[in-house]
Amino acid sequence: MSVEPVTTRDYEAHPRSEELQLTKTEIEEISEMLLYEELSRARIRDLEEGVRAQRARGGARAARRWSRVARWAARRAERYQDQN
């Protein structure tokens, strides 16, 4: 048994002869589902935006921390070179 995939292009090229008739309730259910789907996408976008901002702040924080460590290491190296 084989199944051929149907793409949107195939569907548009060969529309069905009978039109799909939806009741008012079905239309409302579909609209509500699409609304929830769009809300979830908006939440995901907000979360991704927050993560990007947090990563940017974290990168700057890491750079400051490593520059402090580098200054400390340079001072320590100077001190030990002066002793020898």
| pLDDT, tens digit, 9 for 90 and up, residues 25-51 | 888 888 888 888 999 999 999 999 999
- In this prediction the pTM is 0.44
Averaged pLDDT for residues 40-68: 90
Q: Is 82 helix (H, G, I), strand (E, B) or coil?
A: helix
Higher pLDDT, 84 or 68: 68
pLDDT of 11 reads 59
pLDDT of 22 reads 76
Higher pLDDT, 79 or 14: 79
pLDDT of 49 reads 93
Averaged pLDDT for residues 54-72: 89
Report the C-alpha gap between 84 and 81 in whole angstroms. Answer: 5
